[in-house]
Amino acid sequence: MINFKSMRELDSVVQVSAAFQYFSEALSDNPFIDSISYFGDNGFMIRTTAQRNDILFDSTSKVNAFYQAQIYGKMRSAAQTLVWFGGFTDRDFDIADTGTPSEKAKKPTHYITAARSFYSNNHSATLVLNMDMRYFNDIYNHANDIENNELYLVDESGRVVSHGNEEKIGQAGGRSCASS
């Protein structure tokens, strides 16, 4: 898929179909994964969730929020290593603006995100797996059974990216998080 732009139309359809199939199988086998997205450096994007498959290819699609987000910048400089992020929601990765007003009004799903870029023939792409943070809540709830004990994840800057209390996501970790 990284060379999508240079493929014949039939080959590109086959590649996208195979990617959607593979992503769907990964979602079925791993219920904690909420979505899988592919973002090409040429603006080609696909996203699979349990509900739907989305595709967007337009040279102007690089205005999509992903290309403006910190993930894209960090992935471009991460040299094909797996990088973890937090503090994002399902809305940050939506490439299709087809949601109904009731879907847009629903509470966002918070993510723990794993991303990796890869390169081939002077093209790059980023693969993003978004895990539903609610799967971590069981761990937090059991750890918090012990008095004065609080468990959460922070990023490299100390910002809380995953917490049993979603209101604390984005706050500074350490004592300020525990005392609020």
pTM: 0.78
CA distances from 179 to 38, 59, 139, 157, 171 (A): 39, 47, 20, 19, 11
Q: Give, in degrees to the nearest 5, the angle at Cα 118 between 3 and 85.
A: 130
Task: Give the domain ranges of the chain.
Answer: 4-132, 136-179
| 52 CB-near residues (< 8 Å, 6+ apart) | 96
Architecture of domain 4-132: 2-Layer Sandwich (3.30)
Distance CA 49, CA 47 (A): 7
Nearest to 106 by CA among 51, 148, 171, 152: 51
| Tens digit of each residue's pLDDT, the chain (180 residues) | 666 666 777 777 888 888 899 999 999 999 999 999 998 887 888 899 988 898 887 656 555 677 777 778 888 787 788 888 887 888 888 887 655 555 556 788 888 889 998 887 778 888 999 999 888 777 766 665 555 567 777 877 788 877 777 788 778 876 545 444
For residue 113, the surrounding DSSP H or E stretch is: strand 110-120
